[in-house]
A = this chain, B = another copy of it.
Amino acid sequence: MDEKGLAEILEGFKDGSLDLGGALARLEDYPEADLGFARLDTQRVARVGFPEVVYCAGKSDEHLRAILERLLSGSDPLLATKASPAQFESVRDLSPGLEYDPASRTIVARRPPEPPAGSPYVAVVAAGTSDYPVAEEAAITVGMFGQRVERVYDVGVAGIHRLFRRLDLIRGARVVIAVAGMEGALVSVIGGLVSAPVIAVPTSVGYGASFGGLAALLAMLNACASGVSVVNIDNGFGAGYQASLINGL
């Protein structure tokens, strides 16, 4: 529930359109909804500007179902990440509005409308096709904020002309998300070419001494270009979230 929702309830009660019981009922799940095993943070919109996002990995089907059911009973956009196909199957009957993207493993509902064409945008730049799932998780998250996103994929530095040909699109962004596995060099090159803040997402793409994304993570933390910060390995969601906060300033 965001501040407007809270104000409506309070004013409804004040002007008599809502009696005490009704007001309490609508406030019942505020600032948390107690499911016994879980306490949904229903105050989050008011406090940090976006509703609680569901991290699906490691949750039992029963827990996940109960959580989504409760969130679907509200009216906020719904975003759930790292959901396996089997998890989606176990909840898809909850609402016809649930959509699943198997590449990024995200479940969404109640997508915000598309932003106007000339809106400031977040550029999601990805190094290789194997980075596609993480890049899409970031792009979908930005979309759930109702913001504009531009995708620039497969422009890794091994063929750097591909990147330069899209430089205008990247430089036009208010924030850039740079997604790369292996050695993550894309981040440093972009960081040296744009004046927008760059949020780097290391991916676990690679093998051997990539150590599950550690190589890319360390590289990005040590990027010689300024203006770069980093999120967890494969955390497209986190990058999309922060980029949206910045793009919305």
Contacts and interface: CB of A to CB of B under 8 A. Distances in A.
Contacts of A112: none
A227 B241 contact: yes
A24 interface: no
Number of copies: 8
A86 interface: no
A130 B57 CA distance: 8
B128 A224 contact: yes
A68 interface: no
Interface in A3-53: 31-32, 37-39, 41, 43-44, 47-50, 52-53
Q: 5 tightest CB-CB pairs across the interface, nearest first?
A: A208-B233, A41-B159, A185-B185, A215-B218, A229-B229
24 contacts: A38-B154, A39-B154, A41-B159, A43-B159, A58-B130, A60-B103, A67-B129, A127-B224, A158-B188, A158-B192, A158-B224, A159-B192, A160-B193, A183-B184, A184-B185, A185-B224, A189-B189, A207-B232, A209-B214, A209-B218, A215-B219, A221-B233, A246-B246, A246-B249
Interface of A: 31-32, 37-39, 41, 43-44, 47-50, 52-53, 55, 57-60, 63, 67, 82, 103, 127-130, 132, 153-162, 165, 174, 182-185, 187-189, 191-197, 199, 202, 204-235, 237-239, 241-242, 245-246, 249
